[in-house]
Structure 1
């Protein structure tokens, strides 16, 4: 058996089950949205997905720590939202009884639900095993009807060993044309599960409400030239500098409009060759990226044959706690493009200083 075979299967099933809950909330007019202390939104889907995934991890790997984005503090007094989260959890199951039994960790009541959500409070670090979890990455995209992802990664002694992304609004077809309105593409089945184990490649498969489907190997593609490359970037200007990215594209001779989408769906998209370059450029010197926003996607891109560094060309360091405090930004590209893209990024950013 491949290393981390059980971890990969449990993570994939847990993410798949959690996406069922998020999809149900996605189609509701009222999503129980709250604002956290940093003014970012959190919904019923975020809380419910985190509870389901953590319950599965605790059942199968009780000694593992979990670094999760959400906590349950605001649900303690908000009985209305708490009840909605609980109802969403109760009604979410895979249709495969054997897969459900394998996941285990059923949540018995609201107090157990709150405890599961709050179990994601680990500080991470350089030693031992922990999971990095973002129950809904791209919550703003989730709220606007765009792209979002359910993200889970296992980190062991600072190395990302397993990464899984559930992207419910991406087309299953790895060859589907790539555009900002890809969520609305007609004639395409939607819902993709991306996965990778370090040293063993990356795959995609269709999301389902049953057991896992047959995975297909994915690979980053190399365009004939930089001028033919497609940029992928964040929708939110406060996540990455659109102006700097436009200047970099111009320096590289890229004339195609960039494709903007929310969440780690960008990582999955370039990993399967739908896009060629993903940039996330710092908008603030003080901002520290969260590890759950990148861990799964970083591994999937690397295992699909891409190169991914920060803007200084350094490997992302996941040993520093809950943030990537030793890194700034993301430069991800096919192997034959990365050096040229990184050089252009550094030239544009250095010119501003």
Structure 2
């Protein structure tokens, strides 16, 4: 069957990165740097990306890698790479910086995209975060792996196009197939950070289709895992008034999207279009993200269309 080998390599890379992240979280005084967009980044983000990029480049040297981080901040200020060197004892600082920058590839016919720590603020709070790896061919995600060390006892979500979604325990290795439709859950999964979308609009839409249970708040693409495993039924990231033209980054959604889809759910933009990962590092042809367990998706899209039709002329002009 296709993509089994790619999935196995992505799983192995995610496990190594998870070991590094746990080591940093428990053994090193956590501090963060601030990127140009004012989002935080830690040595664990850089170390995780170095390990994954090295792993992918060794096994798939012809594949480009499009990742969130670059080594620019680290090259400007001294840092220590003990967490990486613990896993790769002979690694030099220059090698580690170069491995990080393997992730500065371009979108091609076939490429990998990764977020070494999705939900860095959650990581800093010792809450939810995810290590996200996805393989994309011809604009379609073929393999998705999410390592979610703080999701229940810690688990990997793994999906291969046409072959379903599995949940693998990080502790025991036990694996089971997931179906988002097995236990329908009318609960909204939403970001802890209120700047991630328009929370008031999203909650209003959820209520309009019958969601009355308090929302499940969690950082990172772990929300996709929550839908795939039946802990939630809906996740939305709708453009907010201050940034109506904002477009999502591909590494923030590629792995999660296939995990929901292969569990029987649906993922589209707010207009019902499939996500197009073939254009750039951003989903420039898509507005917003809607992920659901499937059966409610049409109702969600209809509610969004109704809500958006009621926006003021000023908001419409911003679109």
Q: TM-score, normalised by structure 2?
A: 0.93
Cα offsets for 1:54-77 (capped at 9, x unmatched)? 010011111110001000011113
Q: SS of the residue aligned with 1:15? A: helix
Cross-structure match for 1:300: 259
Match of 1:329 among 288, 292, 296: 288
Provide runs of 4+ in structure 1 moved above 3 Å. Answer: none
1:193 aligned residue? 156
Q: Does 1:277 align with 2:234?
A: yes
**3-state DSSP class of the match of 1:195?**
strand
Q: Which residue matches 2:316?
A: none
Partner-residue secondary structure (3-state), 2:149: strand
Report the Cα offset of residue 333 of structure 1.
1.3
Give the equivalent residue in structure 1 for 2:103: 120
Residue in structure 1 matched with residue 177 of structure 2 by the alignment: 217
Aligned-residue offset at 1:214: 4.1
Instruction: Give the 5 Å matches for 1:87-98.
Output: 87-92=82-87
Cross-structure match for 2:11: 12
Residue in structure 2 matched with residue 134 of structure 1 by the alignment: 115
Provide the rounded CA distance (Å) in 2 between the counterparts of 1:343 and 1:32: 44
In structure 1, C-alpha distance between the alignment counterparts of 2:293 and 2:10, rounded to whole Å: 27
- Aligned-partner Cα distance in 2 for 1:223–1:3: 29
Q: In 2, distance between residues paired with 1:222 and 1:293?
A: 26
1:164 is the counterpart of 2:121:
no
Aligned partner of 1:238 among 184, 195, 213:
195
Q: Which residue of 1 aligns with 2:52?
A: 53
Please state how far the C-alpha of 1:256 moved relative to its aligned partner: 0.9
Residues 96-147 of structure 1 show CA distances to partners (whole Å, capped at 9, x for unaligned) of: xxxxxxxxxx86311110000011111214x2x1100100000111112211
Provide the C-alpha distance between the structure 2 equivalents of 1:280 and 1:204, rounded to a whole number of angstroms. 24
CA distance, structure 2, for counterparts of residue 144 and residue 302 of structure 1: 29
Aligned partner of 1:338 among 297, 304, 317: 297
Q: Could you say which residue in structure 2 is the equivalent of 1:314?
A: 273
Unaligned runs of 5+ in 2: 313-319
CA distance in 2, matches of 1:249, 1:223: 18
1:153 aligns with 2:112: no
Unaligned 5+ residue runs, structure 1? Answer: 94-105, 172-189
> In structure 2, what is the Cα distance between the partners aligned to 1:10 and 1:29?
28
Per the alignment, in what secondary structure is the counterpart of residue 91 of structure 1?
helix
* Contact 2:260-2:293 within 8 A present in 1 as well: no
Q: Are 1:287 and 2:246 matched, yes or no?
A: yes
- For 1:270 and 1:71, the matched residues in 2 are separated by 31
CA distance in 1, matches of 2:294, 2:144: 20
Tell me, in whole angstroms, the C-alpha distance in 2 between the residues paired with 1:167 and 1:115: 26
Aligned partners of 2:148, 2:216: CA distance in 1, in Å? Answer: 16
Are 1:68 and 2:49 counterparts?
no
TM-score (ref. length: structure 1): 0.84
The answer on whether the counterparts of 1:55 and 1:116 sit within 8 Å (CA) in structure 2 is yes
Number of residues paired by the alignment?
A: 310
SS in 2 for 1:113: helix
Match for residue 177 of structure 1?
Answer: none
